[in-house]
Amino acid sequence: MEYEQHLPPDQGTNRSAWVIPPDARADQRPRSTIRVLPPAAVARIAAGEIIERPASVVKELAENALDAGARTVRVDVRGGGLTLIRVGDDGTGIRADELRLACERHATSKLASDDLGSVRTLGFRGEALPSIAAVAELAIVSAADDSGVGRRLTLRDGHVVVDEPAPRPRGTTVTVRHLFANVPARLAASGRAQAEIAQIGQTVRRLALAAPGVRFSLLIDERMVLQTTGANDLETALIEVYGPALVGNVLSLGPLEPGGARVAGVVSSPEVTRLGRGQVNIIINGRWVQPRGLLALIEAAYRPVLPRGRHPVLALVIEVLPGSVDINVHPSKLEVQLLEERSIGAACGELIRAAIGQRPVILRERLSTGLAALRSPIALAEAPAEYNEDSVIVTPGLPPLRLIGQVRSRLLMLEGPAGVYLVDQHRAHERILYERLLSTHDGPAPEPIALPEPLLLELRPAQVARFSRRMDDLAALGFECEVFGGRAFLLRAAPVLPGVMHGGMLQGLGEPNELIPALLGLAEDDREGAGWRERLLISLACRTAVRRGRPLERPEMRALVEGLGQTSAPAVCPHGSPLLMHVSETLLEREFGWG
């Protein structure tokens, strides 16, 4: 190092000016020794990882109750959970001679061996009780038999201050007082009482969905805010947790067995959606979790069948072998990793998309009858024909339907086995076109149809490079474009688009002149990623579909219904808006008094 100091200076740099003498470097470094942290500090560090806020306490204690086989769990909260949290259950309880051990770090009854791959319980790290005791006053009263006498243990700052007999039927009650009182920074960072209450409510709702066979009660400041019946029925639990608006609006999912998993669940119909994702629930092996990859696959699947920005109310239950899921990748076990996540996610997404996309909107308003009906007449484009078996339209995606006629040049009216169906002609054609384009995109390159005359696209300078980059992708969809000098392109061929470019009975129904505006919209889209293809397909379908207000001939109406019935989501357009409405026979009977 002394030799380094006396090296000749580098060209343009005085090397000796920036070389620090060894003694100087040593003096500037802080001197420290390695030591083992005291138990109190270790406990508070662990508590910081496990107990983020009052809802974390509720989650840990309620999960302990579920692991103990409880059929009833009661949660009492005061002061937003900072003053008091009490969780009582009727589970197996803790033996008196094991009560102190339960409050030791890494002590657990939930692992029969050290194999984490075989875990089937919600908690297994043995951290919850000691972590809570490190940041609050903790009192446990538990009994493991039916003698009526249990044991009470009270801890303050992690130390036992009370250990005595106490009356208690079989089960456990854990009371947490003055949460974070000894951690002022954490206490100051806690949200207002209402914010903490909202988090606790969300936590209990998720637990109730994950365990529909358990009766949950949540009391906030001695007021009952949530109660489930524990009927062991997921649809019932969903309605109890998220409200009566779901009654009659819940669709069953599965069961299905993709990738070695078993999938089942319930989802709200298109009439009941939410702005946020807060009511999308994934439950894996009885645990409410947030697997990001799986959620992304599911949302991508239901996005085309719901209005923009809307999300369903969903409870999806997935059962896999313990070795097929890693539940130990997150401190609070909120995230998990599935071995076959992609195949399971794709199957779940298709299950949800099909359920939502095939559900027609149910008419629930009272019908106008008598004089009120005359004040808003509905004009039919043609009189209903005599019933003929040959006229019944049979398709995979719709019930057998008989065409009645067109309403106000916008709707198709049909009769089915369970009432009357109304179909939005524009949105129906949108759905047909979108799925045709989608199948083209996902399948082999189609044989394009040459246009009678090439169509000219004239772009602004800023659009040219963007459009040029996507010409190969357009060719894969069947659109043959070529450069026509400068900023102009020619569209010489297009894919088969029923009713727009060739289409049998739908021929001439669509708007081929809208192809160019749709492709110009592609040149305006500067967002990267695969999402532009989806936006292009939706735009093409919307722009070129038959317009509302156009009278249709009877063969064209039939062809629209037949094409719609061949799609995978015949109840919603590509934007996610409803296109099919059902007026049930029951409603007609009630309104007309046919009983």
Question: Which range (191-205, 207-221, 414-428, 462-476) has the least confidence?
Answer: 462-476
The span from the CA of 264 to the CA of 250, in Å, is 13
Rounded to the nearest 10 degrees, the angle between the axes of helix 292-302 and helix 341-357 is 30
Question: Which range (296-310, 361-375, 465-479) has the least confidence?
Answer: 361-375
- β-pairing verdict for 149-156 and 419-424: unpaired
Mean pLDDT of 203-217: 96
The span from the CA of 294 to the CA of 324, in Å, is 14
Mean pLDDT of 437-461: 77
Closest residue by Cα to residue 91 from 71, 75, 107, 111: 71
Mean pLDDT of 372-398: 62
Q: What region, left, alpha or beta, does residue 479 occupy, with left being phi > 0 and alpha being psi -120 to 50 degrees? A: beta
Alpha carbon 271 to chain centroid, angstroms: 16
Report the run of H or E that residue 153 belongs to, with start and end: strand 149-156
Helix, strand, coil % (nearest 5) of the chain? 40, 25, 40
Question: Which range (71-80, 390-399, 443-452) has the least confidence?
Answer: 443-452
Q: What is the pLDDT of residue 142?
A: 95
Q: Give 249's contacts (C-beta < 8 A, 6+ positions apart).
A: 268, 269, 271, 272
Question: For residue 444, what are the CA distances in angstroms to 57, 440, 441, 477?
Answer: 55, 7, 8, 9
Q: What is the pLDDT of residue 46?
A: 56
Structure tokens at 15: 């090397």
Mean pLDDT of 486-493: 86
The span from the CA of 595 to the CA of 512, in Å, is 50
Q: What is the pLDDT of residue 383?
A: 45
- Confidence band for 589, pLDDT divided at 50, 70 and 90: confident
Within 10 angstroms of residue 397's Cβ, the number of other Cβ atoms is: 16
Q: Are 219 and 81 in contact (CB under 8 A)?
A: no
Q: What is the pLDDT of residue 16?
A: 45
pLDDT at 18 over 70: no
Q: What is the pLDDT of residue 292?
A: 87
Give bridge partners of residue 172 from the DSSP assignment: 89, 142
Q: What is the pLDDT of residue 112?
A: 53
pLDDT at 296 over 60: yes
Taking the chain, what is the end-to-end CA distance rounded to the nearest angstrom? 104
Better-predicted residue by pLDDT, 37 or 152? 152
Percent of the chain with pLDDT over 70: 80
Q: Which domains does the chain have, with CATH numbers?
A: 40-225 (3.30.565.10), 233-357 (3.30.230.10)
Q: Tell me the pLDDT tens digit for each residue of 140-188.
A: 999 999 999 999 999 988 889 999 999 999 999 999 999 988 888 778 8
Mean pLDDT, the chain, whole residue set: 83
E-strand stretches of 211-303: 215-220, 223-227, 250-256, 262-268, 273-274, 280-284, 287-289
Mean pLDDT of 396-412: 93
Q: What is the pLDDT of residue 2?
A: 43
Q: Are 509 and 546 in contact (CB under 8 A)?
A: yes
Q: Tell me the pLDDT tens digit for each residue of 328-359.
A: 555 555 677 788 889 999 999 999 999 998 88
Give bridge partners of residue 432 from the DSSP assignment: none
Q: Give 578's contacts (C-beta < 8 A, 6+ positions apart).
A: 270, 360, 361, 424, 427, 571, 572
- Confidence band for 226, pLDDT divided at 50, 70 and 90: very high
Give bridge partners of residue 87 from the DSSP assignment: 75, 174
Find tokens 């197996």 and name the residue. Answer: 92
Q: Is 404 helix (H, G, I), strand (E, B) or coil?
A: strand
- Confidence band for 193, pLDDT divided at 50, 70 and 90: confident
Mean pLDDT of 545-570: 93
| Total-model pTM | 0.74
Closest residue by Cα to residue 473 from 528, 429, 431, 430: 528
